[in-house]
């Protein structure tokens, strides 16, 4: 369906183990959090997000790739990349409203491999990496639902749970941020589709040239118009 959109570049995986045994545990990257991704759902935040920080603790470039057992339940940005020695990459993980059921069975896997440089690793190149050179770390998912924590036992309002004006403003800002992140991810997917179509056109007409605006310029103009149409109302 439409939710299959930008959810995750990696396909659904079943088990990190195979007939030849498990891949080595993660030593190339330091993960924060290291074992469990905690999400907090409230009445105002129906799509909770979490940041996974990947730090390269080695002396060579490391390529990483994210996988999950529930690819339609999450938006992940970026789902793959390369981290230079001593540097880190923050991965934004957004739990979609339709994915909030059954999160206790959800799992994420981070795959990593040492590479010679910081260039992006294609799907074909990932397929050529031997299992002995791959490292993995599996993360559990925990969802905390605070929708029912607004009142104290006995029907009396809990003063500690009453939000202040400042906390309401912070919540609105967080919601707006999550909306923008979700919208950006969708734009990135559309951008990738347009780039693929542009590549097909260039292959079909390698020698075509002429005046006027290029197809890429038109694509960029459309993307900028979409961003402007979304951001303008939120600034007003």
Closest CA to 25 of 36, 34, 33: 34
Confidence of residue 99 (pLDDT cuts 50, 70, 90): confident
Classify strands 36-41 and 135-145 as parallel, antiparallel or unpaired.
parallel
Closest CA to 76 of 139, 158, 163, 127: 139
Residue-level pLDDT at 42: 84
- Mean pLDDT for the chain? 75
Confidence of residue 52 (pLDDT cuts 50, 70, 90): very high
pLDDT tens for 107-140 read 999 999 999 999 999 999 999 999 999 999 999 9
Backbone φ and ψ for 212, nearest 5 degrees, come out as 85, -175
The C-alpha atoms of residue 21 and residue 27 are separated, in whole angstroms, by: 18
pLDDT tens for 19-46 read 334 677 899 999 999 999 999 888 888 8
pLDDT at 162 over 70: no
Of the given ranges (3-12, 60-69, 136-145, 181-190), which has the lowest mean pLDDT? 3-12
Residue-level pLDDT at 187: 73
The C-alpha atoms of residue 172 and residue 123 are separated, in whole angstroms, by: 39
């Amino acid at each position: 369906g439409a939710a299959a959109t930008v959810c995750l570049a990696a396909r659904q995986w079943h088990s990190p183990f195979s007939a030849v045994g498990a891949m080595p545990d993660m030593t190339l990257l330091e993960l924060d959090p290291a074992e469990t991704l905690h999400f907090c759902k409230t009445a105002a935040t129906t799509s909770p997000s979490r940041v996974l920080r990947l730090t390269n603790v080695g002396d060579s470039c490391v390529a990483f790739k994210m996988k999950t057992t529930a690819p339609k339940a999450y938006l992940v940005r970026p789902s793959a990349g390369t981290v230079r020695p001593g540097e880190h990459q923050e991965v934004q993980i957004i739990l979609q409203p339709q994915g909030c059921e059954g999160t206790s069975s959800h799992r994420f896997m981070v795959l990593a491999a040492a590479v010679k440089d910081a260039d992006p690793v294609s799907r074909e190149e990932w397929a050529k990496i031997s299992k002995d050179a791959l490292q993995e770390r599996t993360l559990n998912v925990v969802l905390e639902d605070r929708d029912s924590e607004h009142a104290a036992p006995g029907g009396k309002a809990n003063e500690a749970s009453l939000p202040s004006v400042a906390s309401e403003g912070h919540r609105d800002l967080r919601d707006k941020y999550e909306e923008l992140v979700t919208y950006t991810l969708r734009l990135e997917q559309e951008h990738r589709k347009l780039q693929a179509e542009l590549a097909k056109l260039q292959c079909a007409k390698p020698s075509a040239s002429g005046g006027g605006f290029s197809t890429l310029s038109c694509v960029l103009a459309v993307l900028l118009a979409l961003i402007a149409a979304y951001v303008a109302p939120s600034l007003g």
